[in-house]
Amino acid sequence: MKKNTISFSSSSLHLIIIITAFIWVLPTVGLLITSFRPPPDVAASGWWTVFEHPFNFTCYSLENYQRVIAKIGLGGAFMNTLFIAIPSTIIPILIASFAAYAFAWMEFPGRKLIFIFLVGLLVIPLQMTMIPILRIFSNLGIVGTFPGIWLAHTGYGLPLMTYLLYTFISGLPSELFDSSSIDGATPFQIFIKIVMPLSVPALASVTIFQFLWVWNDLLVALVYLGGTPDVAPLTVSISALVGSYGQDWELLTAAAFVSMILPLALFLGLQRYFVKGILAGSVKG
């Protein structure tokens, strides 16, 4: 009787997971199919109608993607976003890693107070900081430049990343640090040779969080970069497409799918570390 109950509950759980995954994937599938369809078909019928004649779908061309990337200039926006997202991810992760290690295992005056202040920054609304920082950037002459947006994303991402890495690094066994100190290792050597290799799951998790946040950001890019085409990221370019090509759904879906490709590949590539990094600091012992 118990075996039947366990089997039924396991089957129900699998069914729920499959249904949930199907619901999450369905909009992406619809977006992908619509991005390949010609304008008359998009205007006349829904994307699901392609399954009525599935073999006809193979004749759809890449014209929508060619128009979006070459003529509308989304290719340049893609490179701009890449040039924004990579430094805006690497710089704060490096700083947060050092800070998390220092807060977890190094003694210095005011450590707890500084850490409490850092965690308190998480509750400050992002919008409250934009005008003061924009004035500072304007005085420095970095408004509308890549270094300016790198600094902005670094400052906005540091509190959360430091806290997440701290919860992981503080849970590492103290014996590792004691034995390394006895062997004569410096704090920097301990950080490079012990902390960083053991923190790969946590680093992968914060990398996903920060990269996706920067890649999908619109508000910060609009404030600190403006509408300058030379530095405009994908989100700004796609928002302009909505206003300029509001009726051309096939172009909007193609543009949206272009913006999804790299984050999706990053998440799938690092997914094995994702759950480990999220749960790593929750249990000690």
pLDDT at 98: 93
The alpha carbon of 51 is separated from its chain's Cα centroid by a whole number of angstroms, namely 33
Q: Cα 158 to chain center, whole Å?
A: 14
pLDDT at 285: 43
Give residue 220's pLDDT.
92
Lowest mean pLDDT among 30-44, 93-107, 116-130: 30-44
Give the pLDDT confidence of 127-175 residue by residue, as tens digits. Answer: 889 999 999 999 998 988 999 999 999 999 999 999 989 988 988 888 8
Q: Distance of alpha carbon 193 from its chain centroid, rounded? A: 27
Note whether 97 and 196 are within 8 A (CB).
Answer: yes
The residue behind tokens 């290690």 is 101
Q: What is the pLDDT of residue 95?
A: 95
Q: What is the mean pLDDT of residues 42-70?
A: 71
- Taking the CA atoms of 27, 33, 38 and 44 in sequence, report the sign of the dihedral they define: negative
Whether pLDDT at 273 is above 70: no
Give pTM, 2 decimals: 0.81
Rounded Cα distance between 274 and 42, Å, is 37
Which residues 6+ apart lie within 8 Å of 145 measured at CB?
A: 231
Q: Across 24-28, 158-162, 184-188, which has the greatest mean pLDDT?
A: 158-162
Q: What are the pLDDT digits (tens) for 220-232?
A: 998 998 767 788 8
